[in-house]
């Protein structure tokens, strides 16, 4: 596994030397209490795709989870890690991927230790997956629900969403209520915050 095309801000933020950068350097910056979660999350994802979704659909999902990472000043902040597989090798294994790490400390400083898989190209999304098999709480949003969540986050009203999606405002209202219930959110603000933290939007 190799690394290419890293943003200069990444080096600056984490005080890493571009000429000596390796995956081990990046992993070394993860909080000691979160590194085990990151390793288990990657293993969990490999199994989840193999057993539940199908490895052939790997290119149709964005993966998101959070962990704490060390900054240049030595403090740790909560980062949202999003990964999008761009290519696969000839054997169906990992090829190139786009990885985006965003500081979300201003939204939350508590790691949920959950994984979300955001479906692309009409695939369903799986939200808040737990690593332990017992108490997994899976929130599956449809493509239409994800479209509505994204439009809500852009500040559109029910009528504006209806006009954009060519559906009735009443249908939008019903979708919004279902989304709030499904996500166990008390209001739209909490829904949007949770969706940002989970990498859905």
> Which domains occur in the chain, in start order?
1-140 (3.30.450.20), 142-201 (1.10.10.10)
Instruction: For residues 66-93, give the mean pLDDT.
Output: 91
Query: What pLDDT sits at residue 138?
Result: 57
Query: What pLDDT sits at residue 136?
Result: 42
Measure the CA–CA gap between 95 and 1, rounded to whole angstroms.
9
Q: List the end-to-end C-alpha distance of the chain, in Å, as a whole number.
A: 28
Tell which wins on pLDDT, 164 or 95.
164
Tell which wins on pLDDT, 199 or 51.
51
Helices (H) and strands (E) counted in the chain, each on its own, are 7, 5
pLDDT in tens, 138-172: 567 888 998 999 999 999 999 999 999 999 999 99
Instruction: For residues 117-144, give the mean pLDDT.
Output: 78
Query: What pLDDT sits at residue 140?
Result: 75
Query: What pLDDT sits at residue 182?
Result: 86
Tell which wins on pLDDT, 188 or 110.
188
Question: Strand 126-129 vs strand 76-85: parallel, antiparallel, or unpaired?
Answer: unpaired
Measure the CA–CA gap between 131 and 24, rounded to whole angstroms.
23
pLDDT more than 90, % of the chain: 52
Query: What pLDDT sits at residue 135?
Result: 37
Instruction: For residues 35-39, give the mean pLDDT.
Output: 95
Strands (E), 109-149: 115-119, 126-129
42 pLDDT exceeds 60? yes
Q: What is the pTM of this model?
A: 0.71
């Amino acid at each position: 596994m190799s690394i290419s095309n890293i943003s200069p801000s990444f080096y600056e933020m984490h005080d890493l030397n571009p000429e000596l950068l390796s995956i081990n350097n990046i992993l070394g910056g993860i909080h000691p209490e979160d590194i085990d979660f990151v390793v288990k999350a990657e293993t969990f994802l490999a199994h989840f795709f193999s057993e539940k979704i199908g490895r052939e659909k790997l290119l149709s999902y964005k993966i998101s989870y959070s962990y704490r990472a060390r900054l240049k000043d030595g403090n740790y902040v909560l980062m949202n890690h999003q990964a999008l597989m761009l290519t696969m090798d000839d054997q169906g294994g990992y090829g190139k991927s786009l990885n985006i790490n965003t500081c979300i400390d201003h939204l939350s400083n508590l790691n949920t230790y959950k994984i979300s898989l955001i479906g692309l190209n009409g695939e369903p999304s799986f939200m808040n997956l737990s690593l332990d098999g017992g108490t997994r709480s899976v929130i599956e949003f449809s493509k239409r629900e994800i479209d509505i969540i994204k439009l809500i986050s852009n500040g559109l009203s029910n009528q504006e969403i209806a006009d954009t999606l060519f559906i009735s405002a009443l249908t939008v209202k019903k979708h919004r209520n279902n989304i709030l219930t499904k996500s166990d959110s008390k209001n739209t603000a909490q829904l949007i915050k949770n969706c940002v933290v989970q990498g859905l939007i």
